[in-house]
Structure 1
Amino acid sequence: MSKAEQTEQVRAGQGFIAALDQSGGSTPKALRLYGIEEDAYGSDEEMFDLVHDMRTRIAQAPAFTGDKVLGAILFEMTMDREMGGKPSAQYLWEERRVVPFLKVDKGLADEADGVQLMKPIPDLDSLLGRANDAGIFGTKMRSVINAASQSGIAAVVDQQFEIGNIILDHGLVPIIEPEVTISIQDKAEAETILCDEIAKHLDTLPEGREVMLKLTLPETANHYKPLVDHPRVLRVVALSGGYSRDEANDRLSKNTGMIASFSRALTEGLSAQQSDAEFNDTIAASIDSIHRASVSG
């Protein structure tokens, strides 16, 4: 597996990153949107089997290839399972030419100072070792910003880069994701603080160290362009954050150099009850629309 080949695809590829990393907390909702109610499974194990079936169905769809889907973010249990008779990360790269990433955070701490930091990640070193063994290229970790709090946002970015440097030490590329909640009144102000805080940290990274950024689509188009152009940034991807696919695509198309990393907006309209032909047509249309928005900026 060529790391250089994967790096080039992530850096320069004309496409987007699929987020297939729903965790324990968000899986019931993802399954419900997919047409599977909570009474259809009796345990967490059955629930994760069902969501793995959904992710596998997406990954095996004819349109889900590296031509338009540059990478995919996996949940830890997905990395530990198989798709098409191969370990998931290996299947994605070898069969679909899709670069595999791994969600490594353990969820969010309670809100304080207008933000939610990440919970501690006690087994991070061993998880990163397993990720390397599995052929994972990079990682993703999410914090949340609920107010334009200078000290809160600084704490979020400090924590993200502190853990990001550990991930870089393991030879993996971290996707740093400080999500700004789309419904807050002071979203634009929070985005200004966030851009400045991220830039400060990027400026301290030594040559040869690159990170990716996953950011909420901003109120002002091209607000994050200085980060897109920063020499320590491999790629800036956008989260849909609760916007519908149409609105997310519209906002994305106005941000030069940003590409999508959508989860719910990617799977919108998919259903367990669809025939394979219907399912494959729906995911193909979704991939096409997100791809267009990603390359039009």
Structure 2
Amino acid sequence: MKTKQMERIRTGKGFIAALDQSGGSTPNALKEYGVSASSYSNDEEMYVLVHEMRKRILTSAAFDSKHILGAILFENTIHRKTEGLDTADYLWENKGVVPFLKIDDGLAELRDGVQRMKPIAALDERLARARDKHIFGTKMRSVIKEANKAGIRGVVDQQFELAEQIIEAGLVPIVEPEIDIFSKDKAESEKWLLEMLQDRLTRLSPESNILLKLSIPSVDDFYFELTKNPQVVRVLALSGGYSLQEANERLARNQGLIASFSRALAEGLSAEQTPEQFDAILGRNIESIYDASVN
């Protein structure tokens, strides 16, 4: 199974859907979906509602392996069922979509122009649970706000140190050092980030594989050389706050990058839509993201 999943992610046409809103971002995701905070009174009720939203996306006929290679899930999701199966098993067995897991515990406070990840509690146990639930890989996110060389170095070092632990556990990590699209010196941050990513890639063991998830660069094809690195399975692009249309337009100008959109993927979806309306909007979103990803 792992070999088939690796081949699909490495060579398949399509993109990776990001359905990994965490406890911090879930209320806003539900609000955009038309579910107000008054609809739930505690975290468990909130997670039930967001799982229903995710299930609606995953089980839609529009969500298929023709367009979608993988999906990133929140840990709460992998312990819930979709059509009678663990959600990760449903994705692979019923949809042919490779399951990933968001593994980080959110962002630390801003320091040196960046937000590194908070310490990840009981990471080994979390990785063991992921394997038990048939997860293929993981995702972890940091954010770069300013072109601070020391800060960016700290983000990249933390990401790769954890990536090596994840690889050792038999999973494939998505390294996500996001650069804030509204940063005034975004292009300069990208130069430092590219240099540091290339340096850390040279230090990976030859058999190690990772994915990179990056903000769409200010200069078209700036990250193209990363897509040619044999240890980089794919380079993913995050939407980062762009609208679906703008994210697609920017992505389409970058050879070798494929989408891993979250907010943009769900743009226009609402809890009150009929199944036909929901599937039509989701289908249009998926088709447009796919088209931008296979340029």
Residue of structure 2 equivalent to 1:54: 53
Residue of structure 2 equivalent to 1:214: 213
Deviates more, 1:37-46 or 1:99-108: 37-46
Q: Distance in 2 between matches of 1:212 and 1:295?
A: 17
Per-residue deviation, 1:66:
1.4
Q: Secondary structure at the match of 2:154?
A: helix
Residue of structure 2 equivalent to 1:161: 160
Residue of structure 1 equivalent to 2:130: 131
Q: Which portions of structure 1, spanning 4 or more consecutive aligned residues, are displaced by more than 6 angstroms?
A: none
Q: Secondary structure at the match of 2:199?
A: helix
Residue of structure 2 equivalent to 1:93: 92
* TM-score where L is the length of structure 2: 0.99
Q: Distance in 2 between matches of 1:268 and 1:229?
A: 32
* Corresponding position: 1:196 with 2:195: yes
Equivalences for residues 66-145 of structure 1 within 5 A? 66-145=65-144
Per-residue deviation, residues 249-293 of structure 1 (Å, max 9, x unmatched): 000001100000000000000000000111111111110000000
Per-residue deviation, residues 202-241 of structure 1 (Å, max 9, x unmatched): 0111211110000000000111111111111000000000
Q: Distance in 1 between matches of 2:64 and 2:125?
A: 30
Per-residue deviation, 1:122:
2.1
Equivalences for residues 237-248 of structure 1 within 5 A? 237-248=236-247
AA paired with 1:112?
R
Q: Distance in 2 between matches of 1:4 and 1:122?
A: 29
* Corresponding position: 1:10 with 2:9: yes
Residue of structure 1 equivalent to 2:232: 233
Residue of structure 2 equivalent to 1:44: 43
Q: Distance in 2 between matches of 1:255 and 1:135?
A: 32
Q: Distance in 2 between matches of 1:119 and 1:42?
A: 27
Deviates more, 1:166-175 or 1:199-208: 199-208
Per-residue deviation, 1:167:
0.2
AA paired with 1:188?
A
Q: Distance in 2 between matches of 1:158 and 1:89?
A: 30
Per-residue deviation, 1:169:
0.2
Per-residue deviation, 1:48:
0.5
Q: Distance in 1 between matches of 2:265 and 2:91?
A: 17
| Aligned residue-pair number | 295
* TM-score where L is the length of structure 1: 0.99
AA paired with 1:92?
L
Q: Distance in 2 between matches of 1:12 and 1:248?
A: 23
Per-residue deviation, residues 169-211 of structure 1 (Å, max 9, x unmatched): 0110000000000001100000000000000000111211110
Residue of structure 2 equivalent to 1:278: 277
AA paired with 2:91?
L
Q: Distance in 2 between matches of 1:62 and 1:24?
A: 28
Q: Distance in 2 between matches of 1:185 and 1:87?
A: 43
* Corresponding position: 1:173 with 2:172: yes
Q: Secondary structure at the match of 1:199?
A: helix
Q: Secondary structure at the match of 1:178?
A: strand
Residue of structure 2 equivalent to 1:30: 29
Report the RMSD for the aligned CA atoms in angstroms. Answer: 0.5
Q: Which runs of 5+ in 1 are unaligned?
A: none
Per-residue deviation, 1:156:
0.2
Per-residue deviation, residues 61-107 of structure 1 (Å, max 9, x unmatched): 00111111100000000011110100000000000100000000000
Residue of structure 1 equivalent to 2:183: 184
AA paired with 1:206?
S
